[in-house]
Each structure stands twice: as structure tokens, then as C-alpha cells.
Amino acid sequence: MSRADRTKLEGFLRGKVPLARVPLTVAIACGAISGLTLIVQAWLLARVVDAVVIHGLARDTVWPWLWGLLAVFILRTITTTIGDAVAFEAGARVVLAVRGALQTHIFALGPSWTRRQRTGDVTSTVFDAAESIGRYYAGYLPQRVLVAFIPIAILAFVVPTDWVSAIILCVSAPLIPLFMVLIGRGTEALNQAQWRKLAHLAAHLFDAIEGLTTLKLFNASRAETASIAQTSNAYRTSTMEVLRVAFLSSLALEFFATVSIAMVAVYIGFRLYYRELHFLPGFAVLLLAPEFYRPLRAMGTQYHARMEAVGAADAIVALLDTPVRLSSDRRGSLPAAPIRHIRFEQVGFTYDVEQGGQVSGARPALEGIDFALARGRRVALVGPSGAGKTTVSQLLLGFLTPTRGRITVDGHDLATLPAAAWQSRIAWLPQRPTLFHGTVLDNIRLGRADADPARLRDAIEQAEATSLIDGLPHGLDTMIGERGQGLSGGEIQRIALARIFLADADLVVLDEPGAALDHETAAVVARSIDRLSSRCAMLVIAHRLDAVRDAHEIIVLRHGTIVERGRHRDLAARGTTYASVMGLPVGLDA
Amino acid sequence: MRDLLRLLALGRPYARWAAAGIALNVVVVLANVGLLALSGWFIASMALAGIGAIQIEYFAPAAAIRGLAVLRTVGRYVERVVTHEATFRLLTELRVWFYEHLEPLAPARLQHHRGGDLLSRIRSDIDSLDTLYLRVLAPTCAAIISVILLLGFLALYSVPVTWVEASGLFAAGIALPLAAVRLGRDPGRRAVSIRAELRVIVSETVQGLGELLITQAAVRQAEAIARLGTSLVGQQRRQAWISSISSALSGLAAQLALWGALVITIPLVRAGSLTGPDLAMIILFVLASFEAVAPLPAAFLALGETLAAARRIFDLIDAPPAVIEPRCGAPRPQIFNLRIRGLRMRYADDAPWALDGLDLDVPQGEALGIVGASGSGKTSIFNVLLRFWEYDGDIKIGGVALRELDGDTARSLFGVVSQQTHLFNVSVRENLKLARPDATDAELMDALRAAYLEEDIAGLPNGLDTLAGENGARFSGGQARRLSIARALLKNAPMLLLDEPTEGLDAASESATLDALAKLMKGRTTLLITHRPAALRIVNRVVALRGGRVYVGEAEAAA
């Protein structure tokens, strides 16, 4: 990571300071007061020891100083408590704000972006990275102010008291940050790489555990143990490489601090011996010497918190900087009346080919797509894999915006309509439906928590899912295992179908309905889809004959363009692309 | 406590590293206390010598002060390197141990644990177990040893001061941290579980974002995430308050001990039973000695979270495996006919029977098609044959009872193409080599050609080195299926289990795939689950299942 990058990331972190201004100020004020009490405490303590050891006074004469000490102790207890707790608040505010921003941005980037990401990576960014930057505000920033304030305050006391010790402190103090910076610079770059590696490590383990069944099929699950040990060990070796260097910077700090304290003690001793100094100031300075370095020492820890925060900010800024490709000017409005016509007008779409976060080229996916959907009509999209069927549905669903041409909804350009308003009119069955954590009921009512029980029952029946749900251990209240382990592909699809029937949408997009169903069930579902299609506009992406046979129009895609269109009977008779895609012998009248 | 002991037992291979770290920790603490106490004694003596009250030989103490300073500095560096090395070694050990214990449980015992939940377990929990040594064990042991040595030294000078010091150390090191643990246990436990829940919900949101947007559930999901985030911060805030109060009070305990020591020793100096320099030394000794117990509050707080994480991990892996494997497996059968009699199985003790009295016979080298509505038990047959789930009844392969074979041997008999085959996010080559680790590129390409994937793979920018993406996202459903066919080809097992091998394929590739399968099936005993009539042309016989058993008898189907 270059210096400019680091400055940019640090700038990002600084930019969030206003969110935490008040708690930060309070935390710093509390820290400063604690610092000042140290000086008072050192002087009072030295006063007592001087009186007893040098002047041989009795305890009764020093009681006032002793009571004073007690008061100082209590004051410091209060200010440190408040300071620490309030500093947490500063971090928490920023963490919540950043997590919110990340989440909003991921939603804006949409499914066309998320389907190309590793889920583990995105989760790590939203979760761990956001949490790592908290310590920048809770620890590093307040400490940065105190690290200047407390030593200067102590120095202001030491200079008039004992100038020789002041010189020792003054000479050693600037050396410490210097060495820390010199060593810290090298570590920082390593630290950044470290963070990425940790995310990768997480993804690797996730992958192995998710694929455990497959690994077992190939008797490779035990061999994977070695791979996990290896990844983990590699992580240890490289982390230790970073730490050995990182610890050097604290070694430098400890070395200067500890040796300076020893020097202060020895010099004070000799000057006392030659009667160049009084005991009271000498002892007070000895007590303050460790306190002089303590903030610097704490800074060492906070410096790592800062490096970690900058490393984490890298992933966060990269995500927040990912441009949203969807058009943003969406001030149009969609009439409340049911949608009648949706037209693709010479629609084209080109994907950016990205390499290492940079756009390195373009990959055309669709060209000159022209077709219309209408209420009560069913259009089927067929074609070999890679022909662009998924891109068409992503455009229609509003996850992508056409790069050429336009899609209109009852005459309004889809790119100008608010995405949520448009999507609220759609029901969609993806190829691999996601079941979310919750009950079967929650999943069917997804987004419609208030659905009426009678309509719910009806939707379940339409999706042929009644007996399936009755067979579950707790019926509708059965909890879903992630990605439906425990439910078969066909069962998941029927639950997702029930979702569609419940939605009562103007437009229904079905991606391979019935693909995971057995023949009988598929036929029944096809019949209920028939019934559904009379109430809405429908686009079906399919490979199977029974799903397209009755379509009002079949559109055949190949290499991103429409090569054939028409009704099943005509297309089948023609015996060209359609026939070969659907596996029909030439000229067969199906 | 039992969890703690079990965790400690796991770290036994690294006991030496751990002990070395603790010893170094003690050296560092003692060097620091020694440095400050000696400095106090030294300057008080020098001051008294300066006014002619006492005589002093000053070279030895001055040199000792410098020596202790260097010892402390270098000791700290070595200590940090050693304790971290020990921690990471332990971490690897834990990960491997966890995976090894998880492995026999898959897939039967894991179906109730969601993938994200498992990830969270492995990462957060095992990561928080690293605090056991670095933040709990090492500081606690070092503190105990240091405190004993420090108190012993102090007792040489004054027993009452030793008592004051002991009570101060007890309050700062044990009483307050324990109180903090008690108070922190609840928020700690909640933070761990909220964190796990949050991780799951974020990862499913990323995976299912499209459906959330379309169903208008995105806003609600976003609110749920925000709510969980806020309640996580709430728990963390409680933890922050508890820790800042307990650390401030620990500081106060140290200061009160100092105060008490002063009040006790001042008359002793007057009475002549203690010298002035000794008093200066004791003051700095007491002040510095609290460094020994300074890490304890954090250690005790971390202990709560660590034990919660340990509990969850033990809960998960302590589940008995679904299948008890024979102690000594029977030899691999040499003929591969399959005979099933009265097979019953279910997925849980209270679940309905998924297979209920199934009888099947497949002679060696023949292919049997299995049809039936979803839920009729087709896939359960595969789960049983692959020894993923236990069964009642009788299954024999080449006359050997399946139950007598160990799981690996049983699975080595079958090539599998199923809906659940996972593509790993590594290169296509590595995904294929899973089935035959020593395969050459030429053999891989042969398999790809037979699975009608050669062109698809050759067309990829990096060919065989292309990454498959998370869950094989780089490939369409049909391509993923054909990749698993290529894997089955490479595995070259004597029997085949095919679960909807042509699902998701267009008709052209379906017929090509079926041709490939027909070649693959030659001479191999095969079970083919399908609901596609086209697929049934490559089998010898067809049976239909309903309610977990064969229901129309064996209908001869035209091959």
C-alpha cells in the first residue's frame, strides 16, 4: 500500500471524527485531569518521605499531606472511569455509522454485484473491519492528544525542579516516536496484507466446511485437515514475521524509557551525594519518571490499533468506493394501476471486465433485444447456457440498467423509476432460491408479514406445498437450516413458489420453474402457473418443454441476440435453434 | 471448569512454549519492581550519605539499576515473541482439532447448524479461545508466581506492610476482577451469540439480496441488522463500563495499599526498626508491584467469553456421529451387486420414516432407474449407501454387509453425481483432482471431454486454472453438474449413484450428457434417480418409490 493510499485511508477515518466529537472531548479532558493528579500525587508523596526520612518528623505532623494524597487518589479513580467508558462511546458511534453506510451501499450495489463476491469477504468487511476501526476512536485518538499533554505537563514540573533530569527526559522522549515511526512504517505494509490474509483464511475454512460432504465422497475430508493446518501455520509464520518487527518498535520504546528511568535515578543519586540537589525534588522526579513514559508506552499499543484500523479501512473504502452502476436519477413515478405493458426496446448490455478492482475491458452480453410483456401473456426465454437469459432477467428485475436502449413500463423508462417501487410489483423465482434463517412461514411471508391466513393457505396449496409442509416436524413453524440442508431442492423450490403465489404481483419472473421437481409435481405446478399467468405478465426462463409449450411467445436467445421467436408449434416445425435447444427432432409436432 | 481442563489438555503439545512464556513474564515483572525499588533505596541512601548520616558503597547498586533496566527491556521483547508463538501454535492445533472432530459429524449432524453459524463458530469462537493462553493463562500464572515472590521479599522488612500489600493485591488482582467476571458473564455470553447471529444474517443478506429486494423485505432485513448491531454495542458498552470501573478500582486498591504502607512504616522509621532508605524502597516497591496483577482484570473478563465459546464448540462436536463405524472394517467387496432387504431409515427419532421396508436388487453391471415424487425417499437411499446415516434392515454389496465396511471403504465404491456436490473456490484443476489426486492434465481433459465440458473450460481465460468461485458461482448449474460428472469419471469407482444428473441442462446437452453417462455406466452397477423420461433410456430397469418403498413393483422399461 502506497503512502498516498494510507493518507487517503487515514483521511477517511479522520472524516468520521465529527460523529464522535463530544465523547472524544470528554475522554480527553478526563485523561488530562488524571495526568495532572499524578504530578500532585508525586509531590505529596515526596513531601511525606522527605519529612520522615530526611527530617525525621513524626507521623502526626504529616497527616495533612496523607489526607491530601487520599483525596487525589479518589479524584483519579473517578476521572479514569469516566474517561475509559466515554472513549468506548466514541468508537461505538463510528462503528455503527460505518456499518450502516456499508450496508446501505451494498443494497445500492445490488444483487448484480453481490453475486460476484465471496460472501465470506463481504461479511468480514461489514463485520470485522467495521469493528476494528472502533479502536481508532476509542483508543488511538484520545491517546494521541494525551501523549503530548501529559509528558509536557510533567516536564513543566521537572524543568524548574531538576534541570538535569529534565534534559534526560527531553533527549530520550523525541527518540521514542522517531524509532517507533521508523519501525512502524515497515510493519504497516505487512499489517495491511495480513488483514486480507485473515479474510482469505476465513473463506478457506468456510469453503472446506460447506463442502465437507463432497470431501467425504472422495475420501478427501481427512486430507483436508492437513490443508487447514497448513493454511493456519502459514498464517502463524507470516503473522509472527509481522509481530517480530512490530514488537521491535515497543522494544525501542521500552528500552529508552526504562534506561532513562535508570539514568534519572542514578544521576539524582549522585547529585544528592554531592549535595547538588535536595531530596524532595529528587524523589518527586523519580516518581514521575515512569509516568512521563507511560502515555508513550500506551501509544505503542494504540499505534497498532491505528494500523489495524487503517488496514480495515482499506476494505471498507474499497467497498464504499465501488461505483453504483444503476442509474441514480429515479424521480419518475409508477402509476398505482396494474401494469399492462413492459417493453424491451433495442436493449443492449455490456459487462465491465474487472481485474484487481480496475475496469480492464468490456464484455458485451446482450444486443438489440426487443420484446414485450403484457398482462395475461406468458413469454418464455430459451437458449443454450451463456446466451444471456440471466442478464435479461437481471435487467427486468432492475438489478442492472441497460447500457443501450431502454425498458419501458406502460411508457415510463424503467431507468427513471424508483427501483423499490418497481420491484414491489414483481415476484421472482430464482434458479437457486435462498431460504432465510427463520421459520418456513417467515420464508413464505417474506416481505409480507401481515399476509392473511386464508391467502397464505391458498398460496401454499397452489405451490403444491401443503403435504410437504404438513410433513415437517413443526409444520409452518419449522426452522429452516441454512440453504435448506434437510430440505431437498424440489422442496425448497416449492416453498419459494408459495412465496410467488402469495405475492400477487403484476409481473412474475420464473427462472427454471419445476427444474428440481419430479414429473408429476412439475406438471401440477405448471398448471397452477398457468392459472397465475392470467392475472399478470409473466417471463419464464426454461429448458423444459412443459414450461414453455403454452407460452404466448417463445424467444430464443443465442450469443446475446434473439435468433428466433414465435409459438411452440411454429418454432418446433422450423427445426432450427429452438428445436435443438429443446431437444426436439427436426419437424416433430410436439 | 471441566471445559477449561479440556481446553488445557488440548494445549499439552505446546506446554513448553507456554511455560517459557510464563517464566519470562515473571522475570519482566520482577525486573521492573526491582528497578524502581532499588532506585528509591539508592537515592534515599545517597541523600543520607550526602548529609553524612550514613556511609554508602554506591557502585554496585548503580550498576544493578542499569542491569535491571536492560533485563526488563529485553525480557519483555522475548516474552512477547514467545507467548505469541505459543498462542498461534495453539490456534492451529485448535482449528485442526475442531475440523477433525467436525468431520465425522458431516453431513448428518450438521444439518441443523447453518453454514454461517459454523463459520462464526470456527472463527469467532476459536479466535476467542486464543485469549485463553495469551490473556488468561499466561498473565494469571505469572501473577501468582510473581506475587508469592514479592510478598516473600516484603515480609523480610515488615509483616504488617506485607498484609496490607497482600490485601491490596488481592483486591486488585482477584476480588475486583472476579466481581467484574460475575457482572460481565451475562453481557459476554450475549455478545458472543449476537455476534454469531449478526454474522449469519449479514451473510444470508449478501447471498439472497435479490430476493430480499424483490419481496420488499430488504428494508426489514436492514433494520434487523441495524437492531442487532445496536444491541451488540449495548452489550459491549456494559462490558466497557464494567472493565473501566474495575480497572479504576484496582488502581485505587494499589494506591490505598501504598497509603497504608506509608501510615504503617512512618512510625517504624521513627522507632528505628526500619531505615529511611528502606521506607523509600518499600514505597516504590508497593507502587510498582501492582504491575504484576495489572493484566488480571482483563484476563478474568476474557475468561468468561472464552468459556462461553468453548462451551459452544464442545456442544457442537460432542454430538455422537450418526453412523458408528466398525472397529475393523470388512475387506472391500470384489463383486458389486447390490441387495437391499427391509431397509428402513429416518432422519431423527421423532421424524417419519423416510425409507420404510425397501427391497431392491441390482445385479453387477446393471443400471436401475428410480423414480418417485419428491419426498418418496429416493435421496435417502443414497444417504444410507454412502454411510452418512444409519439404517435398519439389510444391505449387501457383493455379499458383504454394508454395515461391516468402514465409511471410507464404502464411499470408495461409489462415484456420485448429485444436487449437493460442492465446488470449492479453488481452480478447476484442483476441484477435479479431488477425485484423483495424481491425475495428469491429459486425463483431466479426457474427463472434461467425456462430460462435454472441454470447450467450456478451454474458453475460460485461465483454462484449468480458473477459480470456481464461491460455491462454484463461476459456473452455471449445468456446468457445475457436468463438472461433478467429470469428477465421477475420474474417480473410476465400480458403482455409480446418480441423483438427477441431467437436471438443469438444456435438451441438447442433456442428450450429450446421457451419452457420456451411458459410457460411464458400462460395467458399473448404477442407481439413477431421475424424473426425466429421457434419462430412463439409459437404464435396464425402473422402480418407482412411494412412502419409502417400492410401490408398483419393477416395471420393465425399454432401454
Beta strands in A477-530 (DSSP E): 507-511
| Contact residues, B window 80-99, toward A, CB-based 8 Å cutoff | 80-81, 84-85, 88-89, 91-92, 95-96, 99
**Closest alpha carbon to B507 in A557, A513, A577:** A577
Q: Residue B390 region, left (φ>0) first, then alpha (ψ -120 to 50), else beta?
A: beta
CA-based nearest distance B365→chain A, Å: 21
- Cell numbers 496490607 correspond to B164
Among residues of chain A, what percentage have pLDDT more than 70? Answer: 89
**Closest alpha carbon to A184 in A261, A15, A299, A318:** A299
Q: What is the pLDDT of residue B473?
A: 72
d(CA B468, CA B430): 10
The predicted-structure confidence for A527-536, as pLDDT tens digits, reads as follows: 778 878 888 8
Q: Which of the residue ranges A3-12, A356-365, A418-427, B216-225 would you say has the lowest mean pLDDT? A: A356-365
**Is B244 within 8 Å of A80 when comparing Cβ atoms?**
yes
Cross-strand partners of B497: B416, B527
The predicted-structure confidence for A451-471, as pLDDT tens digits, reads as follows: 888 888 888 888 888 888 887
Read off the amino acid at residue A6.
R
> Which residue of chain A is at minimal alpha-carbon distance from B217?
A447
> Angle at the Cα of A41 (from A36 to A44), degrees rounded to 5?
135
> Which residue of chain A is at minimal alpha-carbon distance from B46?
A273
The continuous run of DSSP H or E covering A245 comes out as helix A223-273
Q: In sequence order, what are the residues at sequence separation of 6 or more whose Cβ sits closer than 8 angstroms to the Cβ of residue B475?
A: B423, B468, B469, B483
Are A323 and A112 contacting, i.e. CB atoms less than 8 angstroms apart? no
* Sign for the pseudo-dihedral over CA of A24, A26, A29, A30: negative
Domain regions of chain A by residue span: 3-321, 434-504
Q: What is the pLDDT of residue A483?
A: 43
d(CA A515, CA B502): 10
Cross-strand partners of A369: A347
- B216 touches A: beta carbon within 8 Å: yes
d(CA B412, CA B404): 14
Are A285 and A264 contacting, i.e. CB atoms less than 8 angstroms apart? yes
DSSP string covering B450-496: HTT-HHHHHTSTTGGG-B--GGGTTS-HHHHHHHHHHHHHHHT-SEE
Q: What is the pLDDT of residue B75?
A: 93
B447-451: long-range contacts (C-beta < 8 A, 24 or more apart)?
B447/B486, B447/B487, B447/B489, B447/B490, B448/B486, B450/B485, B450/B486, B450/B489, B450/B516, B450/B519, B450/B520, B451/B482, B451/B483, B451/B485, B451/B486, B451/B489, B451/B513, B451/B516
d(CA A197, CA A205): 12
Examine the pLDDT at A586 and tell me if it is beyond 50.
no
The continuous run of DSSP H or E covering A10 comes out as helix A3-15
The predicted-structure confidence for A335-353, as pLDDT tens digits, reads as follows: 888 888 999 999 999 887 7
Q: Cβ of A488: how many Cβ atoms within 10 Å? A: 22
d(CA B46, CA A272): 6
- Cell numbers 476441484 correspond to B431
Q: Which domains does chain B have, with CATH numbers?
A: 14-317 (1.20.1560.10), 338-556 (3.40.50.300)
In 3-state terms, what secondary structure has residue A571?
A: helix
d(CA B26, CA B268): 31
Cα first-last separation, chain B: 65
Q: Residue A575 region, left (φ>0) first, then alpha (ψ -120 to 50), else beta?
A: left
Q: In sequence order, what are the residues at sequence separation of 6 or more whose Cβ sits closer than 8 angstroms to the Cβ of residue B412?
A: A219, B332, B493
The predicted-structure confidence for B383-425, as pLDDT tens digits, reads as follows: 899 988 889 999 999 999 999 998 889 999 999 887 667 888 8
Greater pLDDT, A96 or B94? A96
- Output the pTM of the full model: 0.73
| Contact residues, B window 108-147, toward A, CB-based 8 Å cutoff | 110-119, 122-123
For the structural domain made of A434-504, what CATH number should be given? 3.40.50.300
A542 contact residues in B (CB cutoff 8 A): none
Residue among A270, A503, A520 minimizing CB distance to B46: A270
The predicted-structure confidence for A440-451, as pLDDT tens digits, reads as follows: 888 888 877 788
Are B184 and B301 contacting, i.e. CB atoms less than 8 angstroms apart? yes
Averaged pLDDT, groups of 10, chain B, 559 residues long = 82 88 94 93 90 84 91 92 86 82 79 56 70 85 94 93 94 89 85 85 86 86 90 92 89 94 91 90 92 85 80 83 84 92 85 87 92 77 89 92 90 84 84 89 89 82 82 75 86 90 72 80 89 81 85 48
B466 contact residues in A (CB cutoff 8 A): none
Greater pLDDT, A186 or B457? B457
**Is B211 within 8 Å of A446 when comparing Cβ atoms?**
yes
Q: Choose the mutation target among A105, A482, A485 for the interface with B, i.e. most B CBs under 10 Å.
A: A482
Q: In sequence order, what are the residues at sequence separation of 6 or more whose Cβ sits closer than 8 angstroms to the Cβ of residue A556?
A: A382, A383, A562, A563, A564, A565, A571, A577, A578, A581
Q: In sequence order, what are the residues at sequence separation of 6 or more whose Cβ sits closer than 8 angstroms to the Cβ of residue A182?
A: none
d(CA A454, CA B484): 43
- The grid coordinates of residue A260 equal 532513562
Q: Residue A368 region, left (φ>0) first, then alpha (ψ -120 to 50), else beta?
A: left
- Cell numbers 526491582 correspond to B34
User: How sure is the predictor about A587, in pLDDT bands with cuts at 50, 70 and 90?
Assistant: very low
- The grid coordinates of residue B171 equal 483486591
User: How sure is the predictor about A328, in pLDDT bands with cuts at 50, 70 and 90?
Assistant: low
Mean pLDDT, all residues of chain A:
83
Q: Choose the mutation target among A258, A500, A588 for the interface with B, i.e. most B CBs under 10 Å.
A: A258
Residue among A56, A96, A220 minimizing CB distance to B233: A96
Q: What is the pLDDT of residue B122?
A: 64
Q: What is the pLDDT of residue B554?
A: 45
d(CA A236, CA A230): 10
Burial B261-279 (b: 16+ CB within 10 A, else e): bbbbbbebbeeeebbbbbb
- B502 touches A: beta carbon within 8 Å: no
Q: Choose the mutation target among A213, A474, A512, A525 for the interface with B, i.e. most B CBs under 10 Å.
A: A213
Residue among B58, B122, B262 minimizing CB distance to A273: B58
Q: What is the pLDDT of residue A485?
A: 47
- The grid coordinates of residue A295 equal 502515555
DSSP letter, residue A345: E
ipTM of the complex: 0.80
Question: In terms of DSSP H, where are the helices of B11-58?
Answer: 15-50
Question: In terms of DSSP H, where are the helices of A211-222?
Answer: 212-217
d(CA A525, CA B541): 28
Are A58 and A82 contacting, i.e. CB atoms less than 8 angstroms apart? no
Distance of CA B557 to the CA centre of its chain: 50
- The grid coordinates of residue B112 equal 441443523
Q: In sequence order, what are the residues at sequence separation of 6 or more whose Cβ sits closer than 8 angstroms to the Cβ of residue A309?
A: A13, A132, A133, A135, A136, A140
B144-152: long-range contacts (C-beta < 8 A, 24 or more apart)?
B145/B22, B145/B26, B146/B25, B146/B26, B146/B29, B146/B30, B146/B292, B147/B173, B147/B289, B147/B292, B147/B293, B149/B26, B149/B30, B150/B30, B150/B33, B150/B285, B150/B289, B150/B292
As separate numbers, helices (DSSP H) first and strands (DSSP E) second, chain A gives: 22, 10
Dihedrals phi, psi of A172, to nearest 5 degrees: -75, -35
A220 contact residues in B (CB cutoff 8 A): 434
What would the mean pLDDT of A558-579 be, rounded to a whole number?
Answer: 85
Are B386 and B416 contacting, i.e. CB atoms less than 8 angstroms apart? yes
Cross-strand partners of A537: A507
**Is B199 within 8 Å of A208 when comparing Cβ atoms?**
no
Q: What is the pLDDT of residue A30?
A: 95
Examine the pLDDT at A398 and tell me if it is beyond 50.
yes
A399 contact residues in B (CB cutoff 8 A): 210, 213
Residue among A254, A286, A512 minimizing CB distance to B43: A286
Cis peptide bond N-terminal to A433, omega within 30: no
HSE value, Cβ hemisphere, 13 Å, CA-based, for B433:
14
Q: What is the pLDDT of residue B556?
A: 43
Are B250 and B256 contacting, i.e. CB atoms less than 8 angstroms apart? no
Look up the CATH architecture of domain A3-321. Answer: Up-down Bundle (1.20)
d(CA A493, CA A480): 13
DSSP string covering A525-551: HHHHHHHHHTTSEEEEE-SSHHHHTT-
Are A286 and A264 contacting, i.e. CB atoms less than 8 angstroms apart? yes
Are B147 and B292 contacting, i.e. CB atoms less than 8 angstroms apart? yes
What would the mean pLDDT of A389-418 be, rounded to a whole number?
Answer: 90
